[in-house]
């Protein structure tokens, strides 16, 4: 065994650290020593000193960990304080000796009062602007060489003692020949070679760390630094950056900018620049870390740091061009009231592309609103790739990233909290990936880390450290939000007037659709629509398939025909169809006791509840599980737990006696029946009954699987609609629609649904009452099939891109699927009515003449419709004159005539069919409007086709007194 390996084994035994880590350090140290003794020069001497110190500090702390176990608890804090003090002195001494890049590292560490011990902050603070200066002769020679004139010709006065000395340059105060007071920044001789070599050394260290500890792969960071840091060495570059940031922030603008994103900061004017000399306007200020001077001037430190944070939010989100080095040495505070912050040193800057700037803003707002879908979308747009599907942990880490700052006095507690959270996340990763302890320590959950956000991350950490060192608390989520929102709003072009592609470019199927698109544009210009899909079938043919707007308030991607919208209770119409499909297949009967299918269900007085009671909302379980929302809303996402709990509840009313809308319990009641009657998972039956036979793969989900996040629309609330409805004296008592609502439903709950429904946890949950994610064209195809008694229409036009059914259908459950043998017979049931002459259908380019109709139900159209409506042979299975049939809302006209069936969802999405006119229409939208907008669209289409308008949507926007919520 080699000497290095023996030493490694010995040290490992003493310190109990990984063998490979100690051995590697010693081998690396020996190799560096060999290179130095062979005469490789200062480059390897610098490298060896760095590795030697790193090894020494590492061993010191590891030894202390062992010693701590033998020390009284009361003396342990003292041991750690002494260790921090001596190691901070070692680090400072070496950094001052080496200068170059290591000063930059020390400056960064000196700002991290939120995570580093006080000794490091106190000692390393000297690196911000108090390094040993270079000689005056060297400084003057550089100035004269660069500017081509003598010092006497340039200045009437040049102060010998520098104002500040940093890693790359030092700054002197001077007076120009014309009397202007300036500062002169002069680059250190030879610093360029040192910086470039230090970057190589840093790269070597990072490569070694990534090899030894793969979960700590900092290569993306060092690669970005290697690209950007050399730019600091050209002061012409810094001069242009200074001018650009000053212009962007309006520092020289006349008058006061009253926009919310305006910031009050000062930036010195550039007088002259060369590669190594920069002359700037002199501004009289005090150092931001001079606490006593700030107190003497009465400076509000909270307001000061908030304004600096706002200035950086403006640079990042509004301008996409920001200073990447906001350590305390680069800030002054003006002596004159109102004591504005002065921003200095723009050598290290970052220019963001429009797409990355947008993605960063989207990431910030997604974290602020808990929107997992938008967060993952932002990650994808900026090129951040994760190795596993863990949206909850991704959100948690992002929230840590944008967390509010804490004072330096809470650094230890903060570090412990972060360590505990990281340990918790790694445990979750370990369980999900089935990794052992060694594997999880070497697992890096990030697959690709884009260089564009490296300096962005550095800036946030530096600002956090600045806040902590000044003992102020900064809420990033509140201060930076207006800037992130402003860039998205300016980039979004929500409305048609500013976005010529607001209506998605897809084929026009009829003259009615052409007119509808013009109408939608009018509504869009009135800010009534954010994103929408409308699809309609007439006589078995598509006559409307339109998508318009954007996917979300902070998501400017266009709505496409295959976009997936959360449709709330529209889902119930599909769930009801699954129950009827099982009845049609002979798996259960509508008048059958649920306990015959699901024996456990009979507990607590539910043995008399029948399938028809559940479908007709007369089971007496209308408030069942409503208390989960107060206990833990996330329990809604636990399918098995909810089924167990539904078994344990007791009915509040006698089955079949009173119709009260089962707004949540309906889903678990029907879901339990479906699974027990079929012996299969809910998702399997959905796919077998409807998804594959209707060719709507990838566009009809109840609980979305991983892989479809990029197509999900994000919900927002139409506040004007909400305000209008809130002014009604008693929205519940006066509503013909809402009188059937259970006591636990409150209108105020609606606003709280939005953020919850946007979370990925909820979107992925199986909630058959309210969690459908459909495209309008998939839902319309479903109702077009039902209106014809189960006969599937011809395939949707392939010219509407992407074609319906072209997506692979991801299933949440990896279960074996059972194929359905579709009936293959020509349409000979007399369903086809004469072609209406009230609209002109534009011919398709697809040839569907050879297609054979398939049928998903075996019973006749008349019998199927009677079952849906609770009429004819099924009239005794429902409450007379109720709003619901057997699972579907009965669609009535204003004169009380029943014309069809369907189901609406809270917020405006809907789907229904008109039986006599063989008409089916669906609307999906993401700006929830409680039926008013949907009513205008339905009335418009029905008017053009001369069809009866459903009672729920009859009348003007103002005359619709109550929201359509089911």
Residue among 958, 891, 966 at smallest CA distance from 738:
966
Find how far residue 62's CA is from the centre of its chain.
39
What single string gives the DSSP state of each residue in 863-886?
HHHHHHHT-GGGGGGS-TT-SBSS
Distance CA 469, CA 409 (A): 9
Distance CA 11, CA 890 (A): 79
Pick the catalytic residue from 114, 129, 319, 325: 325
Regarding beta strands 565-566 and 772-774, do their DSSP bridges make them parallel or antiparallel, or are they unpaired? antiparallel
Question: Tokens for 476?
Answer: 């990033």
Distance CA 708, CA 355 (A): 21
DSSP code for 963: -
Dihedral of alpha carbons 782, 788, 792, 797, sign: negative
Residue among 97, 123, 98 at smallest CA distance from 109:
123
Q: Which residues of 630-654 are buried (b: 16+ CB within 10 A; e: fewer)?
A: eeeeeebbebeebbebbbebebeee
Residue among 590, 819, 824, 571 at smallest CA distance from 700:
571
Distance CA 318, CA 349 (A): 15
850 catalytic per annotation: no
What single string gives the DSSP state of each residue in 96-141?
HHH-THHHHHHHHHHT-TTTS-HHHHHHHGGGGTBSPPPPHHHHHH
Distance CA 437, CA 428 (A): 12
Q: Do residues 181 and 197 lie in contact, with contact meaning Cβ atoms separated by under 8 Å?
A: no
Task: Determine the angle formed by the axes of helices 42-68 and 73-98, rounding to 10 degrees.
Answer: 180
**Alpha helix stretches (DSSP H) within 251-403:** 291-297, 301-313, 354-369, 372-382, 391-401
Question: Tokens for 154?
Answer: 């340039």
Radius of gyration over every alpha carbon of the chain, rounded to an integer in angstroms: 35
Residue among 889, 941, 895, 892 at smallest CA distance from 910:
889
Residue 570, CB half-sphere, CA atoms under 13 Å: how many? Answer: 33
Residue among 61, 53, 50 at smallest CA distance from 205:
50
The residues carrying an active-site annotation are 325
């Amino acid at each position: 065994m080699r000497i290095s390996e023996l030493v490694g084994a010995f040290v490992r035994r003493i310190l109990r650290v990984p063998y490979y880590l100690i051995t590697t350090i010693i081998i690396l140290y020996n190799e560096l020593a060999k290179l130095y003794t062979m005469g490789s020069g200062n480059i390897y001497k610098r490298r060896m000193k760095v590795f030697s110190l790193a090894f020494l500090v590492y061993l010191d702390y590891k030894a202390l960990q062992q010693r701590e176990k033998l020390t009284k608890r009361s003396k342990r804090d003292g041991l750690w304080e002494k260790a921090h003090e001596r190691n901070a002195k070692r680090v400072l001494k070496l950094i001052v000796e080496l200068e170059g890049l290591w000063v930059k590292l020390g400056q960064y560490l000196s700002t991290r009062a939120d995570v580093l011990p006080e000794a490091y902050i106190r000692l390393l603070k000297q690196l911000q602007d108090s390094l040993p200066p270079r000689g005056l002769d060297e400084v003057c020679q550089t100035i004269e060489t660069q500017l081509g004139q003598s010092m006497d010709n340039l200045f009437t006065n040049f102060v010998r003692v520098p104002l500040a000395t940093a890693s790359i340059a030092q700054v002197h105060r001077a007076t120009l020949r014309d009397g202007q007071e300036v500062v002169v920044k002069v680059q250190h001789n030879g610093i360029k070679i040192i910086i470039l070599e230090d970057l190589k050394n840093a790269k070597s260290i990072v490569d070694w760390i990534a090899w030894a500890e793969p979960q700590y792969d900092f290569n993306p960071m060092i690669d970005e630094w290697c690209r950007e840091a050399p730019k600091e060495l050209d002061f012409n570059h810094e001069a242009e950056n200074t001018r650009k940031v000053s212009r962007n922030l309006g520092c020289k603008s006349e008058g006061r900018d009253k926009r919310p994103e305006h910031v009050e900061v000062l930036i010195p004017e550039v007088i002259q620049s060369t590669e190594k000399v920069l002359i700037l306007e002199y501004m009289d200020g005090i150092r931001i870390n001079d606490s006593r001077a700030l107190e003497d001037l009465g400076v509000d430190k909270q307001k000061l740091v908030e304004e600096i944070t706002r200035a950086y939010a403006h640079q990042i989100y509004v301008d996409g061009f920001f200073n990447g080095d906001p350590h305390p040495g680069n800030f002054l505070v003006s002596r004159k009231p109102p004591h504005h912050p002065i921003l200095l040193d723009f050598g290290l800057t970052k220019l963001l592309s429009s797409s990355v700037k947008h993605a960063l803003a989207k990431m910030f707002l997604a974290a602020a609103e808990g929107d997992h879908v938008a967060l993952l979308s932002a990650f994808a747009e900026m090129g951040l790739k994760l190795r596993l599907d863990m949206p909850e942990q991704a959100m948690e880490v992002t929230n840590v990233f944008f967390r509010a700052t804490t004072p330096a006095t809470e650094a230890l507690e903060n570090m412990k909290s972060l360590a505990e959270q990281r340990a918790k996340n790694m445990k979750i990763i370990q369980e999900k990936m089935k990794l052992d302890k060694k594997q999880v320590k070497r697992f890096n959950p990030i697959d690709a880390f884009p260089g564009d956000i490296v300096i962005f991350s550095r800036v946030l950490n530096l600002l956090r450290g600045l806040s902590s060192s000044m003992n102020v608390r900064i809420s990033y989520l509140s201060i930076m939000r207006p800037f992130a929102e402003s860039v998205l709003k300016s980039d979004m072009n929500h409305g048609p007037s500013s976005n010529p592609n607001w209506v998605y470019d897809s084929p026009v199927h009829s003259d009615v659709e052409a007119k509808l698109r013009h109408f939608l544009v009018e509504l869009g210009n009135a800010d009534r629509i954010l994103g929408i899909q409308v699809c309609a079938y007439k006589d078995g043919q598509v006559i409307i398939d339109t998508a318009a707007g954007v996917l979300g308030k902070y998501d400017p991607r266009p709505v496409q025909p295959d976009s997936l919208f959360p449709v709330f209770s529209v889902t119930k119409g599909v769930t009801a169809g699954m129950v009827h499909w099982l009845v049609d297949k002979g798996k259960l009967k509508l008048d059958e006791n649920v306990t015959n299918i699901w024996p456990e269900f009979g507990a607590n007085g539910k043995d008399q509840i029948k399938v028809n009671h559940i479908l007709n909302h007369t089971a007496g379980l209308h408030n069942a599980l409503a208390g989960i929302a107060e206990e833990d809303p996330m329990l809604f996402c636990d399918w098995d737990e909810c089924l167990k709990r539904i078994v344990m509840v007791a009915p509040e009313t006698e089955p079949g006696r009173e119709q009260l809308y089962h707004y949540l319990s309906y889903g678990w009641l029907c879901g339990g029946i479906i699974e027990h009657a079929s012996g299969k998972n809910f998702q399997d039956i959905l796919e077998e009954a409807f998804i594959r036979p209707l060719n709507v793969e990838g566009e009809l989900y109840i609980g979305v699987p991983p892989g479809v996040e990029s197509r999900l629309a994000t919900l927002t609330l139409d506040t004007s609609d909400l305000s209008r409805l809130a002014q009604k004296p008693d929205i519940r008592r006066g509503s013909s629609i809402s009188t059937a609502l259970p006591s636990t439903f409150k209108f105020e709950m609606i606003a709280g649904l939005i953020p919850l429904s946007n979370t990925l946890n909820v979107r992925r949950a199986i909630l058959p009452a309210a969690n459908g994610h459909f495209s309008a064209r998939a839902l319309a195809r479903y109702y077009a099939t039902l209106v014809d008694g189960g006969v599937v229409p011809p395939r949707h036009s392939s010219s509407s891109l992407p074609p319906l059914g072209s997506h692979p259908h991801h299933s949440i459950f990896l279960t074996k699927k059972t194929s359905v043998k579709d009936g293959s017979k020509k349409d000979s049931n007399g369903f086809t009515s004469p072609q209406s002459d009230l609209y002109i259908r534009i011919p398709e380019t697809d040839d569907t003449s050879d297609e054979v109709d398939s049928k998903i139900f075996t019973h006749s159209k008349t019998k199927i419709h009677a079952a849906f409506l609770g009429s004819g042979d099924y009239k005794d299975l429902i409450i007379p004159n109720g709003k619901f049939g057997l699972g579907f809302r009965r669609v009535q006209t204003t004169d009380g005539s029943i014309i069809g069936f369907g189901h609406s969802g809270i917020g405006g999405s809907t789907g229904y069919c008109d039986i006599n006119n063989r008409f089916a229409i669906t609307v999906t939208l993401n700006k929830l409007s409680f039926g008013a907008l949907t009513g205008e669209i339905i009335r418009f289409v029905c008017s053009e086709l001369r069809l009866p308008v459903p009672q729920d949507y009859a009348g003007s926007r103002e005359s619709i007194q109550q929201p359509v919520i089911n």
